Structures are given as C-alpha cells and as structure tokens.
Structure 1
Amino acid sequence: MKRHLPCILLFLIFSTNPLFPQKHLLPIPTFSDTIESWSDSILHTLSFDERIAQSIMVYAYSDKGIRHEVEITDLIRKYKIGGLLFFPGNPEKQAELTNFYQSQSSLPLLIATGAENGPGLRLDNVIEFPYQMSLGAIQDDSLVYQLGIEIAKQNKRMGIHMNLIQVADTNSSPDKTAMYMNGMQESGILATTKYFPGFLAGYDLLLFSEDVPVTIEEIKKAIANNLITREDIDNKCRKMLEYKALAGLNKYVPIRMENIGKNLNSLSAQVLNYKLIENSITLLINKDRIIPVKRLDTTKIATLFIGSEHLTEFQETCNKYTRITNFNRTEKTNDKQQEKILQQLDSFNLVIVGLGNLSQHAYRNFGITDDTKDFL
C-alpha cells in the first residue's frame, strides 16, 4: 500500500505579546547641549496653544486627493501641529507631499509611519521584508540588526523620522527585538514599539487626533480642572522639540525626489530580503527524514496547493527539480471535485502540500479552516 507523505510548507507570520523584562528595554536617549539649546529657543517663541499642538500628530495619506491635502495644510498653518503620520500610498507622491507640508510649516514636522517590516508595508511597489515572527526564526541575529539599519535607510530616504512599530515581537525574543530597534535608532530613526494606538494619557504624543481644535480645548480644560499642569505641557513640548532635533530636524533638508523608487528597492535591500527569508525557513518535523526529497528520478511526485486555482510560484519552483503533477483546491472546490483529487493523488508516492491565504492572527487559526484540516 502506498503512503501519502504530505510535506506542508507554511510561511506563518504572526505576532505574540510577551512582556519584555526590564533588562531588555532600550536606553532613553540623552540630549546634547546643542539640542537642548535649540528646543528651548523654539519653545519660547510658541503660544500656549501651539505648545499643546506640538504633541499632536494627524493622519496623512498620499492617495486621498486634493481635499484631504487642503485639510492637512490648514491644520499645519493654523494650529502648528507637531507632525504627520503617513499611511498607505505611493512613495513618490508621499515624498512630494512631505516636502510641500514641510514648506507650509513654520516648524519642522515630525514625519512618522507604522511599518514594522519596512515602508513596503504601507507604500506601493516597495520591497516588503519578513514579519517579526519570521525574524524570530532566524538564528543569525546580525541579520535582524542589518534589517533595522536597512529600514532606517529606507525611512530616511522618504523623509520619515519615526517608525511606530505596532508589533515588534520577534518570536518572544527580546534580545532580537532590541537588536532590530537598535539598528534603526543607531541609524537615526526614532523607533517605538507595541500597540501605539493604545497609548494612555500621560505620554508625549497624541496620535490619530480627528479634531485638532477640540483636542487643544479639551487639554486646556484638563489643566483648568487640575488634571495636568501648564508645566506638563511645556515639558512635553520641549521633549517633542528635542526628539525633532535628535532626528535632524534642527537642520531640515527637503527630500531629494530623483530615483526614490530605485533607492527604496536597492540591490542591498533585495539581497538582505533574500537572506532573511532563506534564514527564516524552519523545518518543524522531518518524519522518516523525507526532506530533502531523494530519488527524484523514480519517485512519483504531486503538488497540491490549497488556496489558489492557478499554478503558484511554489508549484513552479517544485517543477524545476523534477517532473511533477500539480493539483489545486480552493473554497470553491465542491465535494465531487475534492473526491476526484483524492483519487488521483492515490497513485503518487509523495504529495507535497502548500497552503495559501493564511493569516498572521492566532484568533483566526492563522487562516487554516476546519474544512482544510478535514481535507488534509
């Protein structure tokens, strides 16, 4: 009786939430006399409302049209907000808008994005590096550090000063996480971590403000009710200005527009991405030492890809090694078609299964449905 030996190649990329021990926390940066002098000189020129506004960042998009751009410009000119948080869009357009918004602001804007695996997470046609769970599988920690450096390089090319990393967990490895963030910070990018939309009152930045004037008035009410003090506002504004200077905004230079796409997708970025993926592939179980597959000339092999009705890159790659018969199954495959696939697979010595349409979320069972499990 012939055995079916399914080899399932899964690229599961997801995040976990351990609390890192204190010893792994990154050091709080200190500011030079030059930075402190610059921030104090700016602070004394600001009205109280403007000091509040320096701690406010608002959403900015590069693909929402002229009405959105006018709204952002008005907030910059009228309220002197502290910065912008860019989300999905086009790299060239975002760079163009960043230069324009900076030109409209009397103070340099702190530009942020939320891209734990690089600007490619948010921007079209930009290389996207592996997610954090994959990084946790890499044994060579220096590659994770190099990734932090490369992401910092990409962000700086886009005029981005802060990377709000939603999830930095590298497979419950705080040391890797620290190396990843150190790579960014040592290259001049401010790096934050964890679930930044959940920041509570008492932090130095207010993100996602949907109504800047109302936000300012509510903070002033909090002062009137003795919940916070004017000194608190001054300290937060001063810190915001110090971080701007730390990011180089005390010597602001506009983004150079030439070759942005080429620079973001540099050869060094592509080589690093290949190394990261190669080093993250993990063999969990190798029953009967079936991997590497031997006797390619005599073993009758089939691939079954679940999640696509078309021939996948996974199957095409398998076909480069030997003659292989390919099968596909999707959620549209009915019971009769499923039974036919199983009957056909019965004649093969080895069936290699690939899964697609996976999720990085555990609460979704990583995209593996009960129907898929039953079929396997």
Structure 2
Amino acid sequence: MGNENTVIEVTGEAASKIILGRSIANEVPAALGDRVAKILIIHTPTVGRIANELREILLDSGYQALLAEVPDAESAKRVEVAAFCWQIMGQADFTRTDAVIGLGGGAVTDLAGFVAATWLRGVKLVQIPTTVLGMVDAAVGGKTGINTAEGKNLVGAFYAPEAVIADLAHLDTLPLNEIRTGFAEVVKCGFIAEPEILDTIEAGVETATNTESAEFRRLLELAIGVKARVVSEDFKEGGLREILNYGHTLGHAVEHAERYQWRHGAAISIGMVYAAELGRLAGHLSDAVVDRHRSILGALELPLTYPAGRWEGLLATMQRDKKARAGMLRFIVLDDIAKPRVLAGVDQSLLRFAYDEIAA
C-alpha cells in the first residue's frame, strides 16, 4: 500500500470520488477544477490552522479563497449558521461556477453540503472531513442537512460533492475518544455488510484504532467502500440505502434527548445494541450475534445502555423521525451479520421489550 492514495468511486446519480491518503492537500485544486474562481472554506475553530494552510494552497493555485468559521459539532447545523455562510457568499458575489469546501467533522460537512446545495440552487462542493466519522460516513454519499428544534437533519438536500479528500494526517492529533466514537459507524458497516471489519477490531482494538496502522487504513477503506456501493445504487434512499440507518432510529432519538451534547457514535452504539435486541425479539437474530454487538462496541468503550424511564420521550421523537413513513416506524435489523432487513409496523410492546433489554 505504501503512501499511494486509494480512490473509491461513487457512481450513478451521486457520482463523485473519495481520495484516501496521507498529507494530500495538493489533491484539492485538481478536485475543484479550473472553472472555479471563488471558494468558501467552512471550518470549525479546532481546524483553523488547517483552514489557513489550505487557503494558502488555494491562493497559490490562483483561486480567491474566503474562510467562514462556524461552531463545533451540532451547534454548526442551524439555519442561522447557514445564513451566515450565505451572507459571506452574497457579499463576495459568488456565482454558479464558484465552490464550497467543508473542512471539519461530520456536522460541518453536513452544513457545508447544505450551503452548497442551496446557494444559487447548487454550486461545486468538495468535502475535507477531519474526523473518522466524517471520513466514513457524513462526508460520503451526498446527504446534507441542518437540525431544527423538532429533530435532527429534518431540513436538508441530497447533494453529491465533486470529491471527498480524506487525509489521514488530520486524524493523528484526534483524542482517542473521538476516534473510538467515530468507529461506531465503521462497526455498523461491519454488521450490515463487511464482516472483515468486525474480525479486525476483535483481533486488537488498539491496533485497529491506531491512525498510523495498516489495519486502521484498511478499516476506513472497507467502511467507505460499503457506503460508496450502497449510495451508487440508491442515492436518494428509495430502498437499499436504508440499510445505512442501522442503529440510527433510536440513536437519533438519543441525540435529540441529550440536546446533541453526545457524540453521534455514542448514540449510534446504543441504537445498534437496541436494533440487535429488537431483531432477536422479532425472531431474526441469534443470541451470539447480539452478544457480539456488546463485546465489540464495549471493547471500543462505547455505551451499551440508556436510562430506564426515558422510553416514552424517545418513542415520540422516533415517530417524528424522517425515516418513519405514514406514522409507521421502520427499523433496520439483521437476519445475520451482513444480512440486513427492514422491520416495519412493529408492535409497540415489542419495541418496549427491546428497550427494556438496554435500559440501565
């Protein structure tokens, strides 16, 4: 593998490419192309140094590059923050041939994608995720969005980036907790499609989560590959793409209940254990695979339980979730590892019993 870049293609309606490598900022001008004049780099305070370095690279390449610093994490995904970005673009006379770069974690790439999708009904977009979660999930696949008081990602658009530049060097300074919470989405890809991911984590969590190891890079390639294949077949979630929601129906409700103060991966970890228990109670999944959820997520020090007495609030949030259809809740469960299915119209008593299995 050496220092070569890995290029993973998304085909079909969402055509784009994901470039995975180390110290690859030089890939950004090529991804933007020569028709672009102005670029807005939307970034968080934590990656301010990287944003300034990128701006210098772009200025040297002949672009006009502006910076928009936005809040960290879910605080960035508000309409007021999007309006701040639109204001900068309006005052700088951004045209349809200009571009937006999302630089930061998954929340920033969600926001930047939404800003790009809505400015003049769509300008060029390049995503540069700087977290594990951003690289394997949020920045890939063209889902963009912001939150409202009523729920997460209720306002958004499907909008494919030109490219996703996944630079492993950006992960080297991340706290271990940030890497491990990001790994919830990697584990999800293991359970729904790629058993090799689960085997590799079980062989050694420390090596698997070491950003400089060959195993870490392999896990990111596998997880990105899962999402790229699914999105290539089903960009707008008409069918197959729904499997990527494994653990997300309850997980998003937990995030909402915690006022988005929790890391996404922590909530999704609980959501996956819940989905596993629901699959078992519905007669689809073996005890052994349910146990494997707990052992792998537990080894990553991710939460496996949520307080008893919170079910009614979580249920109300799930019923408002965009994944519900005609008021009917839909869950992704497993028949076995790499065999996901939709479970819809489940009896509420069964949903409650599954919650009792994860309630602390």
Q: What is the TM-score normalised by the length of structure 2?
A: 0.29
- Looking at secondary structure, tell me which structure has more strand per residue: 2
What TM-score results when the alignment is normalised by the length of structure 1? 0.28
Question: Quick check: which has more Rg, 1 or 2?
Answer: 1
